[in-house]
Amino acid sequence: MSPKEFFIPWRHGTIYYDEFTRSARFQAAAVDLSKMPFSSTVTNPLRLIHRFQPLCLALFLHNRCNLDCRYCYAKPRTKLSCHKRLDPRVITTPAEWPARNARQQNQPLHILYHGGGEPLLEPDLIRACDEEIEQVCIKHRISQCRHLTTNGVINPETTRWASVFFHTITLSYDLTPEVHNRNRPSLGHRQTSVHVLKTADILRDTSATPPPELRIRATVTADDVEQMEPAVGFLHTRLPGIKHIQFEPVYLDHSSPYRHYPARFVQSFIRSHKLGKRLGMDISYAGARITQRHDRFCPIKQSNLSLTPDAFYTACFLSTENQFDSDKALLFGDYDQPDMPKLNRLLNTLEQDAPHCQDCFNRSHCARGCPNVCPVRMDYLETSEAYDCSIERWIGFYLICDRAGIDISTAELENMEQTFPPRPHKSRSRS
Ligand code: SF4
Ligand code: SF4
């Protein structure tokens, strides 16, 4: 896929959007699309899709968790899990791969601690992994950058340690105290909002210089669509200094009714984004990320080498052990023997695009319905055709408008279908 510049008809003019530079501009004169030859133009010779050259090692440490989230996609399988815990002694070989790339590109090695469980339940395991990784970094004369995702229900001592140890920390907090308490109770059915906010206070009050970059990740369910704007206001007041909030669609919930009311979701997101802008905050939506070149969530598409607790390489954030048949298709070898032919087959399969995505202005930023639509796990063409991508398309287009300096009026916002043409409307690429 080569980068293109897109022409998007808008009001009485045209938005020009260059997906390579991610710049957008508006010109009042309309382009006569019928007179343009529309085969694709290469605006930059660099290809967007490259060979897998990981710069990050992501470690799924274990699948233990102290929460009982309402929408957890890992929960149904946890009882059947093999309950492995990553053995730090196996990490050197996987770390070598991204470390070599990091050295060649003069970059730090990124290490991401996350998982189907809560990483900070085992700080000793993190420290043991880090000792192994540090040896690899010393050998290659590179530094490392440590990243963490956490549910924030952690004891203060471990939290203080984490505030010094990690460079970026993504904390899961669902929108407002009421929503968070409903969606993310503890295993003992206790409310957790107060605990998570206290954890955020400790992380912000750290002695580390510079302090870790703190980001909030909020899952939006059908019941909470209207809470995005209040969440931005609440978090700005309660946690001053927080700059990044990312909204995530709830995963693998095929019955979720919010998909049937995409305008409601998008209107709410846009209101939250506008408020965030006024408050100096960066508000994003995981399914359409205009600030990054990002499509499906597959780690292997994000230069990210992921290791499961039982030490297998995985191409998918949902497949975290070599236990279930459905997961085996997404694993590509164990820690000391990556299956390169299978990795290449997976990369090729994951490059597939539905016909309606191939010429879409949002194609460099859109998650394409992942994980509900997946070229490896299901009949891709059938599911992608049935998938209504209005949310991704509209949010992507709104963010391009924002880049072009176009403000969406309240009237336009309330009239979503006319404001943002739904599929099968096609943008056109310059030839
Ligand atoms: S569900 Fe499919 S598309 Fe999504 S991350 Fe996993 S492998 Fe990639
Ligand atoms: S917005 Fe729709 S058509 Fe465009 S890339 Fe995403 S899924 Fe494909």
The torsion angles phi and psi of 215, rounded to 5 degrees, stand at -125, 150
The torsion angles phi and psi of 145, rounded to 5 degrees, stand at -120, 120
Ligand nearest the Cα of residue 301 is: 1
DSSP string for 265-298:
HHHHHHHHHHHHHHTT-EEEETTB-TTS---S--
Residue nearest to atom 7 of ligand 1 (CA): 316
In a 3-state reduction of DSSP, which class is residue 7? strand
Residue nearest to atom 8 of ligand 1 (CA): 298
Q: Does ligand 1 have an atom closer than 6 angstroms to the CB of 315?
A: yes
DSSP string for 350-401:
HT---HHHHT-TTTTTB-TTTTTS-TTTS-HHHHHHH---HHHHHHHHHHHH
CATH assignment at residue 195: 3.20.20.70
Same domain for 389 and 293: no
Residue 110 is predicted with a pLDDT of 95
Same domain for 32 and 61: no
Residue nearest to atom 1 of ligand 2 (CA): 393
Kindly state whether residue 126 falls inside one of the protein's structural domains.
Answer: yes
Same domain for 185 and 76: yes
Which atom number of ligand 2 is nearest to the Cα of residue 354?
8
The C-alpha angle 58, 72, 114, rounded to 5 degrees, equals: 15
Kindly state whether residue 347 falls inside one of the protein's structural domains.
Answer: no
Domains in the chain: how many in total? 2
Q: Does ligand 1 have an atom closer than 6 angstroms to the CB of 286?
A: no
Ligand nearest the Cα of residue 327 is: 1
The one-character DSSP state at 76 is H
Low-confidence ranges of the chain (pLDDT < 50): 32-50, 425-431
Ligand nearest the Cα of residue 357 is: 2
Kindly state whether residue 192 falls inside one of the protein's structural domains.
Answer: yes
Kindly state whether residue 216 falls inside one of the protein's structural domains.
Answer: yes
Same domain for 416 and 326: no
Q: Does ligand 1 have an atom closer than 6 angstroms to the CB of 318?
A: yes
Residue 334 is predicted with a pLDDT of 93
| pTM of the model as a whole | 0.86
Residue 6 is predicted with a pLDDT of 79
User: For residue 193, what are the CA distances in angstroms to 171, 178, 180, 235, 311?
Assistant: 12, 8, 6, 12, 33
Name the residue range of residue 158's domain.
56-342
Q: Which of 377, 380, 389 to mutate to test the pocket of ligand 1 (most atoms within 8 A of CB)?
A: 377
Same domain for 105 and 37: no
Which of 277, 307, 342 is at the close of a domain? 342
Residue 321 is predicted with a pLDDT of 84
Kindly state whether residue 199 falls inside one of the protein's structural domains.
Answer: yes
Q: Does ligand 2 have an atom closer than 6 angstroms to the CB of 366?
A: yes
If you measure from the C-alpha of residue 26 to the centroid of ligand 1, how many angstroms do you get, rounded to a whole number?
A: 35
Kindly state whether residue 156 falls inside one of the protein's structural domains.
Answer: yes
Same domain for 40 and 83: no
Same domain for 360 and 278: no
In a 3-state reduction of DSSP, which class is residue 25? strand
Same domain for 380 and 269: no
Cα distance between residue 135 and residue 310, in whole Å: 22
Residue nearest to atom 3 of ligand 2 (CA): 357
Same domain for 168 and 42: no
Same domain for 292 and 261: yes
Same domain for 211 and 136: yes
Which of 342, 376, 394 is at the close of a domain? 342
Q: Please, which residues have CB within 8 angstroms of residue 52's CB and are 6 or more apart in sequence? A: 300, 303, 343, 347
Q: Does ligand 1 have an atom closer than 6 angstroms to the CB of 380?
A: no
Which of 342, 377, 410 is at the close of a domain? 342
Same domain for 367 and 337: no
Q: Does ligand 1 have an atom closer than 6 angstroms to the CB of 371?
A: yes
Kindly state whether residue 70 falls inside one of the protein's structural domains.
Answer: yes
If you measure from the C-alpha of residue 381 to the centroid of ligand 2, how many angstroms do you get, rounded to a whole number?
A: 13
Residue 352 is predicted with a pLDDT of 84
Q: Does ligand 2 have an atom closer than 6 angstroms to the CB of 217?
A: no
Cα distance between residue 335 and residue 310, in whole Å: 9
Kindly state whether residue 171 falls inside one of the protein's structural domains.
Answer: yes
